[in-house]
Amino acid sequence: MTDEPAADATHPPPSHPRPRRAVLLSLFAGLAVFAYTFDQLTKLWVTGTMIEGERIPVLPPLLHWYYIRNSGAAFSIGENVTWVFTIIMAGVSVAILLQIRKLGSAWWALALGLLLGGALGNLTDRLFREPSFAMGHVVDFIQLPNFAIFNIADSAVVSAVAIICLLTLKGIALDGTRHAASRASADPGPQKTVPAKPEEPGND
């Protein structure tokens, strides 16, 4: 005989328990710190060992280090409105921190950690690099064939956006639950059967 209560048939235990909040926050913070630190260390290495405009073959012709200072957004977009992207990156960072209290998914923790780390990496350049506060140039150095030159922060942001798009398509919300529409499409439920109409007796 056991003292454990029997499981309620109407409320079965979840088959996939959600990760603990502390684990999710640790994953989020760890990825944000990693992305930010990796981005800043690589930029420090580039500015300390290369001169602007220098190109170093790494895996030619696929990959080169090519040091440029970007006054625009990611991938050299919008170079004439630097202050706009400074505000956007600051706003994105604040919005992420405000939404963390709803975090209930490891994949969302991964995406938001990368997004915050990447946004803060480029925001640091905007705020503290030349030519002036909030108008600084971002250090870009990764060059691929027929593609814009970018950095680690850009890569983190793009990876995060790709993960968020996949989570949205799968209907997985920030708190780890699935949207009703997604559940309905996966489980249409019992189908209603329409009784056949009785045939009318024919004339003999």
- What is the C-alpha to C-alpha distance for residues 23 and 18, in angstroms, rounded to an integer? 10
pTM: 0.75
Question: Comparing 56-65, 79-88, 111-120, 191-200, which segment has the lowest mean pLDDT?
Answer: 191-200
pLDDT by residue (tens digit) across 104-116?
Answer: 999 999 999 999 9
Average pLDDT for residues 56-70, to the nearest whole number? Answer: 95
Annotation marks residue 140 as catalytic: yes
The verdict on residue 70 lying in a domain is yes
Q: Which pLDDT does position 36 carry in this prediction?
A: 98
Average pLDDT for residues 44-61, to the nearest whole number? Answer: 96
Average pLDDT for residues 127-142, to the nearest whole number? Answer: 90
Cβ-proximal residues to 31 (8 Å cutoff; 6+ apart), any chain = 109, 110, 113, 114, 117
Distances (CA, A) of 70 to 82, 92, 106, 167: 9, 20, 33, 31
Percent of the chain with pLDDT over 70: 73
The verdict on residue 106 lying in a domain is yes
The verdict on residue 19 lying in a domain is no
- Which residues are 190's β-sheet partners? none
The verdict on residue 168 lying in a domain is yes
Cβ-proximal residues to 165 (8 Å cutoff; 6+ apart), any chain = none
| Number of structural domains found in the chain | 1
Annotation marks residue 175 as catalytic: no
The verdict on residue 130 lying in a domain is yes
Q: Which residue has the tokens 């409105």?
A: 81
Average pLDDT for residues 130-137, to the nearest whole number? Answer: 86
The verdict on residue 38 lying in a domain is yes
In terms of Cβ atoms closer than 10 Å to its own Cβ (0-12, 13-18, 19+), residue 120 is: buried
Residue 101 belongs to what domain range? 28-177
Nearest alpha carbon to residue 137 among 68, 45, 39: 68
- What is the C-alpha to C-alpha distance for residues 200 and 2, in angstroms, rounded to an integer? 63
Mean pLDDT, the chain, whole residue set: 83
More confident residue, 99 or 203: 99
Does pLDDT of 17 surpass 90? no
- What is the C-alpha to C-alpha distance for residues 146 and 165, in angstroms, rounded to an integer? 25
pLDDT by residue (tens digit) across 81-103?
Answer: 567 778 888 999 999 999 999 99
Q: Which pLDDT does position 85 carry in this prediction?
A: 76
Percent of the chain with pLDDT over 90: 62
The one catalytic residue in 140, 175, 187, 204 is 140
Longest CA–CA separation in the chain, Å: 103
The verdict on residue 11 lying in a domain is no
Cβ count within 10 A of residue 127: 15
Average pLDDT for residues 144-148, to the nearest whole number? Answer: 92
Lookup: tokens for 70:
């970007």
Average pLDDT for residues 27-49, to the nearest whole number? Answer: 97
The one catalytic residue in 8, 39, 125, 154 is 154
**Distance in Å from the first CA to the final CA of the chain:** 73
Q: Which pLDDT does position 12 carry in this prediction?
A: 53
- What is the C-alpha to C-alpha distance for residues 43 and 67, in angstroms, rounded to an integer? 9
Which amino acid, 202?
A: G
Does pLDDT of 195 surpass 90? no
